[in-house]
Structure 1
């Protein structure tokens, strides 16, 4: 059994969880901070992967609830998109539980590097339009399934994929992308967390401390959900930390 986190570790978990929750709602990349942090604090990679889902669930609950209270919701359409994502996430967790720690760490460094590069790319200014049921074509559902597989496997940078599909392909404005994204992430992460729990890959003390911070960060992010400009500076807030984390992972 992993020992309980020290007071200093607890404070770090809450602080980084807060930053990650804020980032995940407004943009993407929060798990690029929390997953490596859990590994640095001594959790094996697969346990860190499962434990990270605790904070993802709680921050998503916080964000969805707060979006609902301020009148921003897309429940019906989000539920439709969430169905293939849930199926995909179960497959993703199944795969994650079967790879070695070395392979998982290699995948983590690779996706962090790719996500960081994508975060640096400027978002094109697109003419957006509201999402309707008629626009949910089979390729869109297939894309949601693929995002679910990826999210179930590692979660890191999954928000970047949502931005590619929902903003760049479907041309939904970024403020609404954030609303739909956090709802779908909540729906597919619940069964994913259940599978990690079933396989004893979750450490609640670490996960709940992260969740305390991430819920606070998500609550704040909902109140500054301002579309394209609201997410621009968030990328630069995290890139320096992400580079440092990648170097630490590469150094073993």
Structure 2
């Protein structure tokens, strides 16, 4: 199974895209609820939502707009950004969110993350810069190798790994396919590739590479959509 995840990054209640993870370099695109409705119309099965304010502060900050999206659409939602405790997980799941992305907390408290995955639908977000894990809205790069960290989840109950090459995020330079494959192989989990998706050819190449390596997962599509570089309907039919 390969899924396409249109992305909504939330900053101060608006849909934005960052350039290489820099909160100071954000482009505002509009009302996130409008985009969520469009994604559903295009045939998306999932939406990938990140609360950027939450990721930087360590606690959810755009809860109300996420609540509106869950009440207005019937699409599956995976949500991340500042989710650091069980109460936040339960609060989102009670809204109707389909699964939770744990990122920074996974590096800081592996035991907690493992326990949450046994109770709830959890995916792990591993964001890397030069193969080192970055946390807290990418503000801090840890002395943790991304592939070694991914391998820790091989025998856990997590549903997938979302891997982002920060150097490509928002740059429309193409998904780092080799990096994504290595992350999938290290974690032995489905891999959702992220960072720099640019066009239909990029999608075809990624799908073929995943298939040849027997990897399940998908890809997150962000700036390429917002900058009208791709046709989502065309992506969903390929």
Range of TM-score over shorter length: under 0.3
For normalisation by structure 1, the TM-score amounts to: 0.24
Q: Which has the larger radius of gyration?
A: 1
Greater RCO (Cα-Cα under 8 Å, separation 6 or more): 1
